Every structure is written in structure tokens, then in C-alpha cells.
Structure 1
Amino acid sequence: MYVFGYGSLVSPASAGRTLLRDVEALPAARLAGHRRDWRIGAPIVFEDGTRATGGFLDVQPHPGSAVLGALLAVSPAELRMLEGREAQYDTVEVTDSITAEIELSGPVFAFMGRAEHRAYPDMVLPTRYLELVTGAVATRGEAFADEFWATTAPADLPTHDGAYRFADPAQERAARP
């Protein structure tokens, strides 16, 4: 089975940190009929003590659109680990909407933000999260990066610098065991 990564899970280092293993190649894939935006809010605490609702990437159904991302092969136990990290999201099977540069050997799931976590009015974009996503996308090459950003809605959120952690201790342990 696979997880379709469209944000921080495009980063092998970020995925590997949660899964407690080395993650190497993440084959490119497209999720048809969806769009990507910065509209999921999660309670976070910055290293300076600031408490905020962090704005994170999400994908939602949107006919005629497609989102470029990467596939992460996971076991059922690893999927549960990622679900702990992605606490504001539902796990949705998207196999029939995926085209990939590899032949799929199992179902594909994507994390889609729950309605109650979308579009908080006071969200801030953690600069470290933006840097993580930007760095991961850049390592995939110029064509990947160009398409990734072209298929991502603008953040339109104020940024906040510095390291952060999830306010929910269980989610933080899942994200950074």
C-alpha cells in the first residue's frame, strides 16, 4: 500500500522521521480530480512560546484539477503511525485517481483535511514547514517544482519564524518519535 504525499511527505527525511526508518526514492504521482491548498489548521507552539493555529497543506476533491506529489510505500502499521501524525486529516483511498511513474502493487491513500480543521481565521504559516516543503520539492528537479507550485493555491497567510511543535503531545510524538 502507498500514501500519496503532497506536502511534507514529499520529503524522504520527514517521512522517515515518523516511520523510524530510512526512506529513499519516492516515485512521482498525480492525484486527479483534486486541488492543493494551505487551509488545514493544527494547534502548534513555536519555540518562542507563541501558540497559534498553524496552516498546513491539504488536498480536496475538485473536478478538472490534478495535484503532483509522491508515493510512499507503507505497511499497515506504518499507515497507522502516519495517521497519528496527520491527526487533522481523514485517510481516504484514492487509488483510482492516481497515475504514477511506477506500477502500483496496492491501494493508495491520501490524507484529506477534515472540515472542522479547515480555514481558521487566525492561521499562520510556520516558516519551517514552508522551508521543509520547498526543500523537498526542489530536490525533485525544476519540472517537478514548477508543476507542484503551479498546482498549489497561494498560502495567503502570515508567516511565523522558528521551530514549532504540535500542541497535542500525541500528535507531536507521532510526528517526531
Structure 2
Amino acid sequence: MGVAVFGYGSLVDPRSAAATLGRPVGEVWPARLSGWRRRFSTVRDNLTSEKAFARVSDGWLPPIVLALNLERDTSITADPPNGALVEVEPAELDRLDRRELRYDRIDVTDQVRAASDIGQKRTAQVFAYVAKAEQLAVHPPPGAVVLASYVAAVEAAFESLGRRELAIYRRTTGSPPVEVIDARLIRGEVPDGNPRAW
């Protein structure tokens, strides 16, 4: 029995997790997270943070880039977001904390249900990353965008789990609430293991 992280965005892709952990990641297990919803509600200041992106078409620098987040949702009709359990060593959580610098790591062990008995039995403790209070935007700020490269990476990650998982992802997330733009990295002081494409 070990420790796992509930990935609900780009971490669903074992290659993305491997880039952060610095080692190959084995099998990941589809799972659902009860009592939560997934939305594009994490904000990153595109002008002052560790990486900045400009729109390909005209060089415009959006002030804010949105990313996925988990928010509590205890309504009876809630459709829990899906994701994947990624096994990690406890010492590796620091690497993930550096990657997810706009998020707090929280224990969600009691809310996770793996799609397979193997996934459920192999993990004794499960963590997820939730936006820090100062990085949360319940309503998108003016000028906020979502990067097309991020949307593509997340959807590809879920599709690697199967078309059903991609369909669940789309159903439980909805469309980005702002414009999705093609952008390129123009400045990057990216911590090791932190993706450079979004």
C-alpha cells in the first residue's frame, strides 16, 4: 500500500508525471473524486510569473492564464470529475509541490474511488492539488485566456485512458469559460519538472 496523487489535468499523462518525478511512471488507474467539481479557475499572472506566453497571431500578452482546478461540490446531483491515480514515493511529493506551485496539496483519500480494485487496493493515501486562495478565480478576470496547448495536452492525457474517460472529462469539465488561444513561450524561468508548453 502506497501513496498516490489524483491527477485531474495534465498529470493524468504518465509522461508528464515522469518529467516531474524524474523517473518513468508505471500504470495509472482511472478514478473519480466525489464531493468535488473541476473548472478552469486557477489563475496565473502571465506578465510576472515564472513563464510568459504571447499569442501567436499578433504577439499579444494576455494578463492572466487559467488552468484547471478542483472546487468542492457536495450537491446530490454532482457528477464527480474523473482523473487518474499516479503512485509516488512520499519523498517525491516535494517535486510535485514545486510543479504545482499555485496549488495546495490536500488529502482526498476518503473521496477517491478507483475504477479498478487494483488501483483502490494499491493506494493507502491519495492527495490532490487545489488552487491556493490567492490563485482562485471563481469568475474569470478580464483578459484571461486558456492556452490551446494546455487544452490539447489534457485531452490527450484523458484519451490515453480511453474514449470513455475523455468523454467523462469533457462532461464533468465543460468548455473553457474564456478564449482559447494559440500561444508561444516568450519568457521562462521554469522550475525543473514544470511543463514549458503551457
Do residues 73 (structure 1) and 87 (structure 2) align?
yes
Cα pair distance change 1:166/1:73, threshold 3 Å: farther
Choose 1 or 2 for highest CA Rg.
Answer: 2
Q: Which deviates the most, 67-76 or 156-165? A: 156-165
Structure 1: tracts of 5 or more residues without a match: none
> For residue 172 of structure 1, what is the aligned residue in structure 2?
191
The alignment's C-alpha RMSD in Å is 2.1
Do structure 1's residue 61 and structure 2's residue 82 form an aligned pair? no
- Report how many aligned residue pairs link the two structures: 175
TM-score by length of 2: 0.80
The 5-angstrom pairing of residues 1-177 of structure 1 reads: 1-44=3-46, 45-46=52-53, 50=61, 52-64=63-75, 65=78, 66-100=80-114, 101=116, 102=119, 103-119=121-137, 120-121=140-141, 122-164=143-185, 169=189, 172-176=191-195
Check whether the contact 2:22–2:193 (CA below 8 A) recurs between aligned residues: no
Residue identity in the other structure for 1:25 = E
SS of the equivalent of 1:55 reads strand
CA deviation after TM superposition for structure 1 residue 154, in Å = 2.5
**Cα–Cα, structure 1 residues 165 and 42, in superposed 2: closer, same or farther, change >3 Å?**
farther
Runs of 4+ in structure 1 off by over 4 angstroms are none
The alignment partner of 1:133 has SS state of: helix
Sequence identity percentage: 32
The alpha carbon displacement at 1:52 in A equals 3.5
- Structure 1 residues 63 and 12, CA gap change in structure 2 (3 angstroms): same
Q: Distance in 2 between matches of 1:163 and 1:17?
A: 20
The 3 A distance-change label for structure 1 pair 127 and 42 is same
SS at match of 2:173: coil
1:58-99 C-alpha deviation (Å, 9 max, x unpaired): 011101321110001111221110111111111010000011
Deviations 1:14-53 (CA, angstroms, capped at 9, x unpaired) = 1111111112321011110000000101134126673632
